Amino acid sequence: MKNFKFTINGQTYDVDIKQVEDNIASIEVNGTSYNVQLHNEVKAQAPKTPKLVTKSANLQDGESFMKKVSVGSGIKSPLPGIILEVHVKVGDAVKRGQKLMTMEAMKMHNDVLAEKDGTVKAIKANAGQSVMEGEVLVELG
């Protein structure tokens, strides 16, 4: 199992640990076998790296993570980023799940979707504009 060399008071000992079960270790010191009792708790082997288990989002049509950051009729930016395109204009009727804007955040394109049917009351951000997390982008009525 494991081999060690110990020096105690100038005397060298070759120690081979053959097996450990519970608190009894079978060892061999300079060719002589011994069963020794361990006084410290034997630690189990460290567990392997745990596996990450995630739940699926179970989103329905028109639902997105944007729902968590919207309040009332205002749809807010989930992350700081830049508005790339505005797909609607004030007065447009929109359906739940319709793309309102496309933004770039963290080098990725993200669609901003309508969470409910309604009419665009106001557009608070234009193409090319930088927005901060939580900033209102579109108001629906």
Question: Residue 52: helix, strand or coil by DSSP?
Answer: coil
> Quick one: what percent of the chain has pLDDT higher than 70?
76
What is the amino acid identity at position 120? V
Least Cα distance to 38 among 57, 18, 21, 63 occurs for: 21
Question: Residues 72-94: pLDDT tens digits?
Answer: 568 888 789 999 999 999 999 99
Least Cα distance to 138 among 117, 105, 114 occurs for: 114
Question: Residues 95-115: pLDDT tens digits?
Answer: 988 899 999 988 889 888 888
Domains of the chain and CATH, by start:
2-37 (no CATH), 65-140 (2.40.50.100)
CA 59 to CA 37: how far, in whole Å? 58
Burial class (CB in 10 A: 0-12, 13-18, 19+), 96: middle
From residue 82, alpha-carbon distances to 22, 71, 76, 115, 140 in Å are 61, 21, 13, 21, 21
Query: If pLDDT is split at 50, 70 and 90, which confidence band does 55 have?
Result: low
Question: Residue 2: helix, strand or coil by DSSP?
Answer: strand
